[in-house]
Amino acid sequence: MDHIQLLYAIDFAARKHVRQTRKDPENSPYIVHPIGVARLLGEAGVTDLATLQAAVLHDTVEDTDTSFEEASHCQYYSGNRLRLPVLLWWLNDSNKTLCLLIKLEEQFGAEVRSIVAECTDDTSLPRSERKRLQIELAPHKSLKAKQVKLADKLYNLRDIQRAIPRGWSKQRVHEYFVWSKKVVDGVYLHVTSAGKRD
């Protein structure tokens, strides 16, 4: 594995999440979460560079802002062929998402971009719809995206068990655990049944 490439991904994610904190009592820097997700995968024996990079980058599109300057210099792709630069005169969530995914592909390759895209919720949808879609779509993601999703859920559940997020009631914690189990069941049962067929 190319450790330097993994460090580039950590650096990129740290810069994107620089002003964010976790909702824990310590206000931990947000970057501890994506690094922790990658660490869990490493502890589980995952050595694939693209998977580990995607783990570190999995929240960059969904949870960070893309500046106008960054977005205005994005270039659209058609397949693997580079097309003309496009100046974006206005930004909405879809444009920011597209531009950040393109930036990820430019820096880390199409596979990393694809895994991150699979792990990214559409933030223009209401939270309840995003949660429903995570349950519905979990079984249909690529194996690498499933690995990242499982590690992400495990990290969050352990973190919530350690310290309830600011502003969360016991009811919300319970609901998060129930919802997470549904997502994980969809991923895990599909992965296990696929493994039995091989």
Known catalytic residues are: 62-63
Question: CA 193, CA 88: separation in Å to the nearest integer?
Answer: 45
Among 49, 41, 31, CA closest to 147: 41
Residue 11's alpha-carbon distances to 81, 142, 153, in angstroms, are 27, 25, 23
Count Cβ atoms below 10 Å from residue 125 Cβ, excluding itself: 13
Question: CA 82, CA 80: separation in Å to the nearest integer?
Answer: 7
Map residue 121 onto helix, strand or coil.
coil
Question: CA 139, CA 187: separation in Å to the nearest integer?
Answer: 5
Query: Amino acid identity of 108?
Result: F
